[in-house]
Amino acid sequence: MDKLQSPSMFIGVRGKGIISFGSGQPDLPPPESIFKILPGYRSFKYGLIQGNLNLRKALSKEYQGSDEDNFVVTNGASEALDLTFRAIESLEGEGTNILVHAPYYYSYIPLIKFDHLKPVLTETIAGKIDIDDFDRKVRDCKAALINSPSNPTGRVQDIKTLKQIEKICRDLNKVIISDEVYKDLIYERENYLLHGDNVITINSFSKTYSMCGYRVGYLYSNDKKIVNKAIEIKTYSSMNTNILSQEMAYEALKVPRSYVDKQVKIWKERRNVIYDGLQKLGLELWKPEGAFYVLPKIDNPRKAVWTLFKKYKVITYLGEWFGAPGRIRLSYALDSKDIGEGLKRIGKYLKEN
Ligand SMILES: Cc1ncc(COP(=O)(O)O)c(C=O)c1O
């Protein structure tokens, strides 16, 4: 059971009969049009560190008031987060505090620490940010990291809260790092995107376009100091992001909104299946409003994750990895039939243990 140190033991694990509620990778295919460039593609030289110009230009059309110089195209949102933290460390100094709302995406805390910054936690109420606690704690931090819709809670912060966060951070001269990789996967209302000169937006093609293996993401900021620092760090670390993947991402941006709407409809159906199913099994959980995760409470989560895997061939993640002890996280990025089978096995586990 001590093997349950981190999600790495489950990432990429597939096998006969395994139902994986593990990693958050969409099973729905990317838009077909991203593949059409493949047969004729012959470029093989280094690309621009900042990212392909056509892709940055296309991205700038999505963000009012931006231009291609405001973007750095990265190896997924993961590298965008890493570059952002490293840029902040470089500009603000080692040990700078970063406010993170818990439960949080499991990479945040290790990444912040790897980059010599210090995470400070603000708790949430049923996954929603407690604005008073946020207001108190952000004063000792340089930046606040916001992730809405959230991995692992599936919760979407209320528009009122997001606007309060914008105002507090603007007034106090704090940076907002807005991880919006699930911004298009939202079920309950229109989204509201944090914006302003103090906002660093993180996004990715992994979730909206089901392109996680191609590793394309980006950071967007109106602050040239951040953008230039990120380019400088990338110059000496990963260099350019895969140029072929960037061309595929460029094609993905051209697909009509109906592609995303269709995906969201499927995600919502699955959300209903897993939410209702887990409730029927007697587990207590918050209703996801976006993304594709649930975070139910369970007795002895360590035993549950281990036994579900070993005996029932069901992969789930430990809530502890996300700052949510007493819970397990399930991704519902699999079809409804498999979700149903997984729920059956979880029911069996609950009965037999
Ligand atoms: C909240 C959040 N941010 C960032 C990432 C990393 O995404 P990418 O595949 O673009 O690196 C993930 C992946 O699951 C995520 O859930």
Give the domain CATH number at 159.
Answer: 3.40.640.10
Domain that holds residue 187: 37-253
> What is the pLDDT at residue 2?
59
Query: Above 80 in pLDDT, residue 65?
Result: yes
Domain boundary among 253, 276, 302: 253
The predicted structure's pLDDT at residue 307 = 96
| Residue-level pLDDT at 7 | 80
Segment 249-257 shows an average pLDDT of: 97
Q: Could you list the beta-strand ranges (E) of the chain.
A: 19-20, 71-74, 97-102, 118-125, 128-129, 143-147, 175-179, 199-204, 217-221, 293-294, 314-315, 317-318, 328-331
pLDDT score of 121: 98
State the average pLDDT for the chain. 96
Q: Quick check: 12 pLDDT over 90? A: no
**The tokens of 123 are what?**
């708790």
275 lies in a domain? yes
Give domain status of residue 237, yes or no: yes
Question: Residue 168's CB: how many other CB atoms inside 10 A?
Answer: 17
**pLDDT per position as a tens digit, 266-318:** 999 999 999 999 999 999 999 999 999 999 999 999 999 999 999 999 999 99
Q: How many helices (H) and strands (E) does the chain have?
A: 10, 13
Using pLDDT thresholds of 50, 70 and 90, give the confidence band for residue 234. very high
- Residue owning tokens 């099973």: 27
* Contact status, residue 164 vs residue 131, Cβ threshold 8 Å: yes
> Cα-atom radius of gyration of the chain, to the nearest Å?
20
Comparing CA positions, the residue from 206, 207, 200 lying closest to residue 186 is: 207
- Strand, helix or coil at 346? helix
CA of 210 to the centre of ligand 1 (A): 12
Which ligand 1 atom is the nearest neighbour of the CA of 77?
A: 10
Mean pLDDT of all residues in 226-248: 98
Residues 110 and 141 in one domain: yes
* E strand or H helix at 257: helix 257-280
Are the C-beta atoms of 158 and 190 separated by less than 8 Å? no
326 plus 233 within the same structural domain: no
**2 located within any domain:** no
pLDDT exceeding 70 applies to what percent of the chain?
99
Residue minimizing CA distance to atom 14 of ligand 1: 24
Cβ atoms of residues 332 and 271 within 8 Å: yes
Q: Do 172 and 219 belong together in one domain?
A: yes
Most distant pair of Cα atoms in the chain: their distance? 58
CA 318/CA 322 separation, integer angstroms: 8
Specify if 1 maps to a domain: no
pLDDT value of residue 178: 98
Which atom of ligand 1 lies closest to the CA of 25?
A: 14
Name the domain count of the chain. 2
Within a 10 A sphere around the Cβ of 172, how many other Cβ atoms?
13
Mutate to test the pocket of ligand 1, among 107, 203, 216 (most ligand atoms within 8 A of CB): 107
pLDDT band at 13 (very low <50, low <70, confident <90, very high): confident
When pLDDT is averaged across residues 144-170 and rounded to a whole number, the result is: 98
Checking if the pLDDT of 5 tops 90, the result is: no
Pair 216, 266 in one domain: no
232, 253, 274 — which closes off a domain? 253
240 and 217 assigned to the same domain: yes
Residues with CB under 6 Å of ligand 1 are 24, 76-78, 105, 147, 151, 179, 181, 204, 206, 212, 217
DSSP label at residue 132 = H
Same domain? 314 vs 342 = yes
> Do both 18 and 163 map to the same domain?
no
Residue 352 Cα to ligand 1 midpoint, Å, equals 35
Same domain, 268 and 134: no
| CA 20, 24, 25, 28 torsion-angle sign | positive
Please state the rounded mean pLDDT for residues 109-114.
98
End-to-end CA distance of the chain: 16
Range 84-95 average pLDDT = 98
Both 234 and 107 in one domain: the answer is yes
What the block records as the tokens of 187 is 């079920």
pLDDT for the residue numbered 8: 76
User: Which of 235, 253, 271 finishes a domain?
Assistant: 253
